[in-house]
Amino acid sequence: MRRFVLIAMLVSMIFCACVAGAETVDYTSGNIPCNEDDVYALTCCDGLLYGLFESGLYKVEPSGEKTLVAAAAELFPGVETLLSDDHSVYAAAAREGQVILVQLVNADGTYVNQSVLAVELEPEDDVDLSQSVLRNGFLYYPIRGSQPAVVRMPLSGEVGTLAFIDNLVCFDVTEDGEILAQTRESSWPEDTVLLQTVSPETGEAETWADVGKAGYAFDMAYADADTVYLMTQREIYKVQKDGELAETGIAFTQDIVDFCLLPQGLAATSGGMLKICSFNEAAGSADQKLVLSICGLYADDEYFTAFYEAHPTWEIRPVDTDGEETEARFIRDVLTQTPDVDIYIMHDLNLLSDIKAKGYYADLAASEVIREKAGRMYAPFVKTLMDGDKIAAFPHPYYVMIAALNYNRTLFDRLQLTVPTTWEEYFDFCIDWKENYEDANRDISVNPFMHELSLVTLLEHFDDEMIRDGIPVDYQSEMLENVLRKYLRVKELYPEEDYSGTQLFYDYDLNLAQDDSFEFGALPLTFRKDAEPIYTPLEGDVWYFVVNPYGTHVQEAIECVAAARDASRNSDPYVYTEIPDLPLENVYYEEALEMYREQLEQLEARKAGADDDPDILLEVNEKIDALTKEMQSYADNNRYWFTEEDMGPFREIVNHVYFSDFNPVKEIYANDPEFFENINEENLQGFLQAMDSKVKMSRLERE
């Protein structure tokens, strides 16, 4: 029999009848952005929603306003979830081998933060308090492992009981004390996922509903004898007894952290977004909810908090493409004038030139915000994203990167190496390193194919450079053949990547701080000696929004694009000539300093308890001195990520960024990737001859 030691500190008033709570006001459906203050747990007490935010415990009013109950530093340490018995708010915490139940807010609404129950754990217990339940004077929590079970601990001080449940996933407790558990059993052709009622006394189980594979959930909430709600990875579903899954209208673009039932609805959280679904509103049903659909990667809620603030009753839903590329979905939709998708997030710059040529976009210039931002963009972005006075596309707030091959300045200076300026010089350098430098410099690793360098990307660079400079593109030229022969030779010499030592070359986004203190420097390579350097975005470097001109919600979609912002940067992406809120502060600055302070406090405490031991005092004082200097250096040099001065070198570099209107190599590779395989010195000329023909045909087809 499992041993439980119970420390009951709960006063008898918990079991007395409580005075009736104040009349509650129903919550209305809406989205509440939490502005980087992530929400970790939710509970409903006396009709009001409480949330455990990163900054502390809050009461969330039906209006969406938050009232601070207690700051994070004041809460009992180790809190993992919030609980409620409908009269008081509690927290469950795991600390020092115990499960501890803490009363946070009493029936009068007063913050008390006192431990009321502690349960000693067995050493082998793997407790998951995030799924604990408080019901009818009992605390329930699951134990994972080879024998999953639900522990039921009475708050009265009596001995607890244990209900073993095979294949337990998650559970809740009914009003009559039965455990309603979800189980998942591996079987063929697919797993069996059931909801079962389990008697905590006898362990007898009875099927409540067969929800199937689609109903596999991470948490659940029992509503009444006929209804339960399931939290899957990103959606909340409703299940009737003996019934099937039904949508509630709550969905997130990132994983759901927690949810709870409200008197006439439910609330769910995914990091920095809190969503309310009211069962009393027609807009709360999935088929009538105002939904803005986005197709593509990086459609997370965190980028659109400003849109949610302006449109709290709307939902932003990612479109499931079943593995289909967004570009392919876009082409099919615009050709058939399908309105199902409102916004596309894409990266194919070849397609963008087609979009402009054929007018397959809603003009984003309808937004004053976008017009203002477009007026501040660097010339390469203006040329690429704008179509005359119209704005065909707009950059994603985070995924705009101009990556480049970089070289290690320190190592080049130390070894007195000449920095290559052309692709031919670069491959010559790599050959020379292997033959003359590698053996004497085993602490240095050379990976020639950083920056996604391959035959395809090399040819893309070649085509862009020739077109930019107005030179006829000849794939059978002696210059290109020489470069590719050396490229193939380097591939033979470096069959595997080596990370055993300090990197001589590296793949970086273009750095804003290109001063001498930065170890790596950009290495723009050209095909022709003394040609102007060129930075060509590779696939995935630049992601952009396009609004479907045939979409159902064109105006709202444009507003959504205009509001898109990366909150973690506290700034616009670096496609603008002016960044209004420079200097850009390091968002981790204060957090890092606090960590330094905590370490110093620990060292001071150790020093105070050294009892004048000279060896310990010497060691601790040395650590305090070193840590103090390190903290001061961090404080002096890391407060800002970028300043106005840092932007100078970047603004020079960005003038060399080049977006081609059309790169045939990208199209040829997309249509026939095998064409670029198995190239060697013997068949190189034949490959280049075929490549030349394919490029000419590709360009001819676009005329």
Q: 317-332, pLDDT tens digit by residue?
A: 888 888 899 999 999 9
Strands (E), 16-110: 30-33, 39-45, 48-53, 56-60, 66-71, 79-84, 89-95, 98-105
How many alpha carbons fall within 13 Å on the CB side of residue 191?
15
330 Cβ partners below 8 Å, 6+ apart? 295, 341, 344, 346, 351, 360, 546
Tokens encoding 661: 């209107």
Chain centroid offset of residue 27 CA = 29
d(CA 576, CA 526): 26
pLDDT score at 24:
55
Pairing of strands 56-60, 343-346: unpaired
Which ranges of 290-441 does DSSP label H, i.e. alpha helix? 305-310, 326-336, 349-358, 368-374, 379-385, 409-415, 423-432
Tokens encoding 569: 């940067």
Q: Is the pTM of this model over 0.85?
A: no
Shortest CA distance to 341 belongs to which of 544, 549, 560?
549
Are 248 and 266 in contact by the 8 Å Cβ rule? The answer is: yes
**In this predicted model, what pLDDT tens digit does every residue of 482-515 receive, in sequence order?**
999 999 999 999 999 888 889 999 886 655 444 4
pLDDT score at 33:
87
Per CATH, the homologous superfamily of domain 6-13+27-288 is: TolB, C-terminal domain (2.120.10.30)
pLDDT score at 5:
34
**In this predicted model, what pLDDT tens digit does every residue of 237-249 receive, in sequence order?**
999 999 989 988 7
For 103-124, the DSSP string reads EEE-TTS-EEEEEEEEEEPPTT
242 Cβ partners below 8 Å, 6+ apart? 208, 209
Q: Pick out the chain residues at pLDDT < 50.
A: 1-22, 282-287, 512-515
For helices 478-493 and 423-432, the axis angle rounded to 10 degrees is 30
Shortest CA distance to 681 belongs to which of 485, 491, 535?
485
- Which three-class secondary structure state does DSSP give residue 357? helix
- Which three-class secondary structure state does DSSP give residue 304? helix
pLDDT score at 283:
42
Shortest CA distance to 270 belongs to which of 32, 59, 559?
32
pLDDT score at 190:
85
Tokens encoding 229: 């709600």
CA distances from 539 to 131, 318, 407 (A): 42, 22, 22
The domain locations on the chain are 6-13+27-288, 403-536+658-702, 587-638
pLDDT score at 279:
85
Torsion on CA atoms 637, 640, 643, 649, rounded to nearest 10: 70
d(CA 327, CA 332): 9
Are 290 and 250 in contact by the 8 Å Cβ rule? The answer is: no
pLDDT score at 68:
94
Are 565 and 353 in contact by the 8 Å Cβ rule? The answer is: no
Are 222 and 173 in contact by the 8 Å Cβ rule? The answer is: yes
How many alpha carbons fall within 13 Å on the CB side of residue 626?
7
Are 557 and 343 in contact by the 8 Å Cβ rule? The answer is: yes
Are 45 and 105 in contact by the 8 Å Cβ rule? The answer is: yes
pLDDT score at 580:
66
**293 phi, psi to nearest 5 deg:** -100, 135
Cβ density class 578-604: b for 16+ within 10 Å, e for less: ebeebbbebeeeeeeeeebeeeeeebe
Class of 403-536+658-702 in CATH: alpha beta
Element (H, E) at 395: strand 394-400
- What's the DSSP call for residue 418? P
Are 475 and 531 in contact by the 8 Å Cβ rule? The answer is: no
